[in-house]
Amino acid sequence: MQTYGNPDVTYGWWAGNSGVTNRSGKFIAAHASHTGLIAFWAGAFTLFELARFDPSVPMGHQPLIALPHLATLGIGFDETGTFVGGSTVIAVAVVHLVASMVYGAGGLLHSLLFAGDMQDSQVAQARKFKLEWDNPDNQTFILGHHLIFLGIANIQFVEWARVHGIWDSAAGAVRQVEYNLNLSAIWNHQFDFLSISNLEDVMGGHAFLAFLMISGGAFHIATKQVGEYSKFKGSGLLSAEAVLSWSLAGIGWMAIVAAFWCATNTTVYPVEYFGEVLELKFGVSPYWVDTVALAEGAHTSRAWLTNVHYYLGFFYIQGHLWHALRAMGFDFKRVASAVSNIGSADITLND
């Protein structure tokens, strides 16, 4: 956190990030609690959508998000995309709700009972995850574990598609999808990913990401700092605020990419479940509108999903810029001071 040169600075209760700064135990508590909130939302919103789902209206023309994503995974709907009852969907929702309680309990344990800083833990393995911003070996060790978990998540998705199957709009059915690990195609798709038209390429990209992340994670865990630890390598630049800024940049960029993809791609976001493709408009800022007229001014799932992702991503990027500048030492109080000085100068000139 920015202290503006005051080593004894204190923050109010609303400055939540200050409570986890340089306190890895509290940082983990916040992570676990945040995960619990996400899991709770997923479970609760799935039940909410299931209660108001109307089988007589196309799913894409209803204001839904959880059910369409489950449908694309082949959950709760048969091979023709017909709703087959809520038992499976309810089971998925309940699993998320139970998981949210487990994550919440973990967050409370780390917040109230376990060491506030992992370096004070009685468990030797836990002490490896303490935060030392100017220790590159510590930072790369923690980064490596994050990459491995992300890689495992990609493997789960690829294996689900390969073994269970996912919805394929072109076939009009849920089918098993083998990943196409064509490195040349994967490279080319980084420039035209919005137009990907087959699920094999989608799964191939995820399989490649899994390999890349797990390999990178193992590399980061196993390796140590080589050569001088310079500013080019992060010396003096790493801090809790810097990591927060990068996290916001990453999630913001992903949200914006997801918005453009959702607006136009019908392979990953099938028309059956998300509605027709959207049209991009420009006003004060970009926004997307439906290309079909629905009853009573309703919007497709694709329309609100796209726009919400885009604007959340936009504000995440602004948060990134704010925290990145603070991490670099920029004093925003100078801005208020400069504005005040300009006002004082104007009054003096007028007098």
Q: How many other CB atoms sit within 10 Å of the CB of residue 328?
A: 13
Asked whether residue 151 falls in the same domain as residue 198, the answer is yes
Compare 350 and 8 and report the one with higher pLDDT. 8
Of 85, 103, 130, which marks where a domain is finished? 130
Compare 11 and 272 and report the one with higher pLDDT. 272
302 Cβ neighbours under 8 A, 6+ residues apart: 60, 262, 263, 269, 274, 275, 276, 277, 278, 290
Asked if residue 318 belongs to a domain, the reply is yes
Give pLDDT, residue 314: 95
Question: How far is it, in rounded angstroms, from Cα 94 to Cα 84?
Answer: 18
Compare 154 and 77 and report the one with higher pLDDT. 154
Give pLDDT, residue 81: 57
Asked if residue 10 belongs to a domain, the reply is no
Give pLDDT, residue 227: 78
Question: How far is it, in rounded angstroms, from Cα 190 to Cα 179?
Answer: 17
Give pLDDT, residue 16: 67
170-220 pLDDT, tens digit per residue, is: 888 889 999 999 899 888 888 888 888 999 999 999 999 999 999 999 999
Asked if residue 175 belongs to a domain, the reply is yes
Asked if residue 117 belongs to a domain, the reply is yes
The least confident of 178-182, 223-227, 277-281 is 223-227
pTM for this predicted structure: 0.85
Mean pLDDT score across all residues of the chain:
87
Question: How far is it, in rounded angstroms, from Cα 316 to Cα 311?
Answer: 9
Asked whether residue 113 falls in the same domain as residue 147, the answer is no
Burial string for 100-113 (b: 16+ CB within 10 Å, else e) reads: beebbebbeebbee
Question: How far is it, in rounded angstroms, from Cα 187 to Cα 129?
Answer: 35
Asked whether residue 240 carries a pLDDT value surpassing 60, the answer given is yes
Asked whether residue 161 falls in the same domain as residue 175, the answer is yes
Give pLDDT, residue 2: 57
Asked whether residue 125 falls in the same domain as residue 208, the answer is no
Range of the domain at 157: 135-226
Asked whether residue 209 falls in the same domain as residue 277, the answer is no
Give pLDDT, residue 346: 53
Instruction: Give the angle subtended at the CA of 295 by the CAs of 293 and 301, to the nearest 5°.
Output: 70
Question: How far is it, in rounded angstroms, from Cα 238 to Cα 132?
Answer: 9
Asked if residue 3 belongs to a domain, the reply is no
Asked whether residue 115 falls in the same domain as residue 208, the answer is no
Asked if residue 126 belongs to a domain, the reply is yes
Asked whether residue 96 falls in the same domain as residue 45, the answer is yes
75-128 pLDDT, tens digit per residue, is: 987 665 577 767 889 999 999 999 999 999 999 998 888 888 888 888 888 888
Count of domains forming the chain: 3
- Token pair, residue 228, equals 């001088």
Asked if residue 70 belongs to a domain, the reply is yes
Asked if residue 165 belongs to a domain, the reply is yes
- Point out which residues pair with 288 in neighbouring strands: 280
